[in-house]
Chains A and B, each alone.
Chain A
Amino acid sequence: MELKERLRELCLINGVSGDEDRVREYILGYAEKYCTCRTDPLGSLICFKNGKKQGKSLMICAHMDEVGFIITYINSDGTLQLRPVGGVDTTAAIGKQVIVGDPGIPGVIGSTAIHNIPRSERGKIPGWDSLYIDIGAADREEAEKLISPGDCAYFDSDFTELGGGSGIKSKAIDDRAGCAMMMELMAEELEYDTYFVFNVQEEVGLRGSRASAVSVAPDFALVLESTTAGDIDGVQGAKRVCCLGGGAVVGFMDRSTVYDRELYRLAFDTAEEYGIPCQTKTMIAGGNDAGAIHVSAGGIRTLAVSVPTRYLHSASCVIKTEDLYSSYELVKRLAARIPEV
């Protein structure tokens, strides 16, 4: 399957943190053809594939979970109280269609009508207490027949091409983009033995990777991610962090990790050698599973390659298709080189 089509299928699967089963089942059905696979106690999927050579061990990983919501309470009027799972702004939640629970009940996230908010409060970011999910139930009894507290809710967003196919808009690109690249790579003939780890619970504190990194205990880790691009209207210079169309993103440092300097240089050298568009981050922003991995199992030399993504953690993440391919190309080359470091 083509990489973009793989990304489409992955993005449309619902799986917020702690609720990654559907994503894992999808990946497992494919990975078993190429790898020896096991699921760890938290739910992370660990797949191993032999390469042509045995060198130092390499772990490539991405997280399966996406940001979303959890239902905390059913109100007497049949509406549902919710809380975010992972870092979601209320402004990204309000006014969106969602899917609730396993049966996939359609709903919307509502709030007080703008007309009824006092002028002094207008323009303020609403709190989670003022939002609710409406599935159309007329009262609590009706709602209880359809869902239960603890059920998750997911952004209901289609996977759309923008700009005549040069761009993609979807939910969950963070981090199904990483999952898609790993599925693509495991089907190829590899230079070195490689672990492919699909982690759980990244969005609630880099949790799945903390355990899986210890059980795999590799020499090197390569984290595949999507990272915030700030190149929107009105933002100039360093505050853009990274840009759509600028290629794979390899940062030297973010809020959770100072990346391995040698691997960082290797990434840019490799990109230059193969003519792969590659950029660094111009601000110390964001973070990913590398934060948990590089200090695990006595220390793991770690690098991250990310797809620059606008509007991360919303129903409408936007990427440039060419950046996905550049990132994949760089990852493929690095997988053949990192074990030689």
Chain B
Amino acid sequence: MDITEAIIRLSETSGASGAEVGAAETALEMLREYCPDAYISKGNVIGIFPAAGENMPFVLLDAHIDQVGMIVTSVTDDGFVKFAGLGGLDERLLPAQPVVIHGKTDIRGVICSVPPHLSGDGDTVPDIASSAIDTGMTKDELEAAVAPGDAVTYDVRCRRLHGSRLTGRALDDRCGVAAILYAVSLLRENAPECGYGVVFSVQEELGERGARLAAYSLKPDIAIAVDVSFGLAPGEKAEKCGILGKGPMIGISPCLSREVSQGLFSAAKSLGIPYQTEVMEGLTSTNADQYSVGGTGAKACTLSIPLRNMHTPVEVIDTADVELTGRLLAEYIRMVKEGD
């Protein structure tokens, strides 16, 4: 499996929170190469790989399939499209940002930017409520093509940067999806004793909602949320960040299972691969927070890929970290024993 190609394909497929169908179908197609019975249930993409042995724990690997975006709220008389945010948008970069409205067809537009003679000397960025999308279409044309509730995503190509780095939108968390697909491809070569499952879950950016459904219906014993975390960059604090290219970040938190954290450390050491430690003092703001207390509870942990410029159209990752994450997941699952 070519990890970079997989990420580019996933990044360029749209799936804003609550409107994940396009991205989910792409991910399903990719997962079916390894799991022909994979399916979509209540939006979540699910693939199950039954245990080889009896009484073995069931491990669930989760990455969220949704991306931050926008949702159409109305069309103005002047032919501008008003919108609200889906997930934690970075309002600083909305002015003059190219977007795609996923209406009856995909419609390209630009978010209005207030010109200097109107913005004056203010030091605040316009809020979402006062922003609108310019499509070059009239109100009548728009009303035939766009409806309130349609999703909007950033209009940007995923592209290679120097070395093994990559930039694009929705790398949060499509690179997690790619890491899990890679882990599954490695496990196919050498099947583990335990059973495991894959879920690409919806609506994480709106409060980890898809994961709540998956936790309830799939009842994992162990759940690993494969997501992104902050990559060190100018303006970021070293103690909150991982370094791009230095390996996956293994989570430790009062809300996570120390047993699983230790299991991931052991797997990394057994492979001899680099890894980083991400210490959090409480909730992780990932789907792990849902798996730990969902259903009757599970041993949960986070495994994070460092990413710069989170929730922007120019997220940056190192694909080497994605590969290492996939290898670590596969090794961990192979090491899971009865009673874990």
A binds B: yes
Interface residues of A (CB under 8 A from B): 75, 77, 79, 87, 89-92, 94-97, 105-116, 122-126, 130, 132, 134-138, 142, 146, 157, 160, 162-164, 166-167, 169, 228-235, 239, 241, 283, 285-286, 310-312, 314-316, 318, 320
A79 CA / B316 CA spacing, docked (Å): 12
Q: Are A91 and B92 in contact (CB under 8 A)?
A: yes
Residues of the A chain whose Cβ atoms lie less than 8 Å from the Cβ of B230: 113, 115-116
> Closest B-chain residue to A239, C-beta based?
B118
Q: Are A116 and B234 in contact (CB under 8 A)?
A: no
Residues of the B chain whose Cβ atoms lie less than 8 Å from the Cβ of A314: 95-96, 113
A157 CA / B155 CA spacing, docked (Å): 11
Q: Are A95 and B312 in contact (CB under 8 A)?
A: yes
Q: Indicate if B195 sits at the interface (CB-CB under 8 A).
A: no
Q: Indicate if B37 sits at the interface (CB-CB under 8 A).
A: no
Q: Are B93 and A310 in contact (CB under 8 A)?
A: no
> Closest A-chain residue to B90, C-beta based?
A114
Q: Indicate if B338 sits at the interface (CB-CB under 8 A).
A: no
With A135-B161, A137-B162 as contacts: A232 and B80 at CB distance below 8 Å? yes
| Residues B102-160 near A (CB distance < 8 A) | 108-110, 112-118, 122-125, 127, 130-132, 134-138, 141, 156-157, 159-160
Residues of the A chain whose Cβ atoms lie less than 8 Å from the Cβ of B112: 232-233, 310-311
Known contacts A91-B125, A146-B162, A228-B116; 17 additional CB pairs below 8 A are A77-B233, A89-B116, A108-B161, A110-B309, A111-B92, A113-B236, A113-B311, A116-B236, A125-B125, A132-B235, A134-B167, A136-B160, A157-B98, A228-B117, A232-B112, A232-B113, A285-B117
With A123-B91, A232-B132, A316-B110 as contacts: A112 and B161 at CB distance below 8 Å? no
With A95-B313, A110-B233, A136-B162 as contacts: A311 and B124 at CB distance below 8 Å? no
Q: Are B96 and A316 in contact (CB under 8 A)?
A: yes
Q: Indicate if B27 sits at the interface (CB-CB under 8 A).
A: no
With A97-B314, A169-B98, A316-B97 as contacts: A106 and B136 at CB distance below 8 Å? no
> Closest A-chain residue to B117, C-beta based?
A285
Q: Majority SS of interface residues in chain A?
A: loop
Chain B, interface size: which category? 35 or more
Q: Are B113 and A132 in contact (CB under 8 A)?
A: no
Other-chain residue from B134, B137, B167 in contact with A232 (beta carbon distance below 8 A): B134
Residues of the A chain whose Cβ atoms lie less than 8 Å from the Cβ of B160: 106, 136
Q: Indicate if B88 sits at the interface (CB-CB under 8 A).
A: yes
Q: Are B135 and A162 in contact (CB under 8 A)?
A: yes
> Closest A-chain residue to B94, C-beta based?
A91
Residues of the B chain whose Cβ atoms lie less than 8 Å from the Cβ of A96: 93, 313-314
Could you jot down 30 A-B contacts, CB within 8 Å? A77-B233, A89-B95, A95-B92, A96-B93, A106-B161, A108-B316, A109-B314, A112-B234, A112-B235, A113-B90, A113-B236, A113-B309, A116-B235, A130-B235, A135-B162, A163-B141, A164-B141, A166-B136, A169-B108, A228-B115, A229-B115, A232-B132, A233-B76, A233-B78, A234-B130, A239-B117, A310-B113, A314-B95, A316-B110, A318-B134
**A98 CB, min distance to chain B CBs, angstroms:** 9
Residues of the A chain whose Cβ atoms lie less than 8 Å from the Cβ of B165: 134, 136
Residues of the A chain whose Cβ atoms lie less than 8 Å from the Cβ of B130: 234
A77 CA / B127 CA spacing, docked (Å): 33
Residues of the A chain whose Cβ atoms lie less than 8 Å from the Cβ of B167: 97, 106, 108, 134, 136
Q: Indicate if B268 sits at the interface (CB-CB under 8 A).
A: no
> Closest B-chain residue to A134, C-beta based?
B316
A114 CA / B308 CA spacing, docked (Å): 11
Residues of the B chain whose Cβ atoms lie less than 8 Å from the Cβ of A312: 115
Residues of the B chain whose Cβ atoms lie less than 8 Å from the Cβ of A109: 314
Other-chain residue from B80, B92, B98 in contact with A125 (beta carbon distance below 8 A): B92
Q: Are A124 and B125 in contact (CB under 8 A)?
A: yes
Residues of the A chain whose Cβ atoms lie less than 8 Å from the Cβ of B96: 91-92, 311, 314-316
Q: Are A163 and B125 in contact (CB under 8 A)?
A: no
**B249 CB, min distance to chain A CBs, angstroms:** 15
Residues of the A chain whose Cβ atoms lie less than 8 Å from the Cβ of B260: none
Other-chain residue from B78, B118, B136 in contact with A162 (beta carbon distance below 8 A): B136
Q: Among A124, A134, A160, A314, find the residue whose CB has the most chain B CB atoms closer than 10 A.
A: A134
Residues of the A chain whose Cβ atoms lie less than 8 Å from the Cβ of B92: 90-91, 94-95, 111, 114, 125-126
Q: Are B232 and A77 in contact (CB under 8 A)?
A: yes
> Closest B-chain residue to A122, C-beta based?
B91
> Closest A-chain residue to B131, C-beta based?
A233
Q: Are B233 and A311 in contact (CB under 8 A)?
A: no
**B69 CB, min distance to chain A CBs, angstroms:** 14
With A125-B123, A233-B82, A314-B96 as contacts: A92 and B113 at CB distance below 8 Å? yes
**A132 CB, min distance to chain B CBs, angstroms:** 5
Q: Indicate if B324 sits at the interface (CB-CB under 8 A).
A: no
Q: Are A106 and B316 in contact (CB under 8 A)?
A: no
A66 CA / B78 CA spacing, docked (Å): 30
With A108-B309, A138-B245, A311-B112 as contacts: A123 and B124 at CB distance below 8 Å? yes
Q: Among A94, A108, A162, find the residue whose CB has the most chain B CB atoms closer than 10 A.
A: A108
A231 CA / B117 CA spacing, docked (Å): 12
Q: Indicate if B237 sits at the interface (CB-CB under 8 A).
A: yes
Q: Indicate if B303 sits at the interface (CB-CB under 8 A).
A: no
Q: Are B233 and A79 in contact (CB under 8 A)?
A: yes
Q: Which 8 A-B pairs have the closest CB atoms?
A: A163-B136, A136-B161, A167-B136, A162-B136, A95-B93, A136-B162, A314-B96, A136-B165
**B153 CB, min distance to chain A CBs, angstroms:** 13
Report B295-317 CB contacts with A as 1/0, cut-off 8 Å.
00000000000001111111010
Q: Among B110, B138, B165, B240, find the residue whose CB has the most chain A CB atoms closer than 10 A.
A: B110
> Closest B-chain residue to A169, C-beta based?
B110
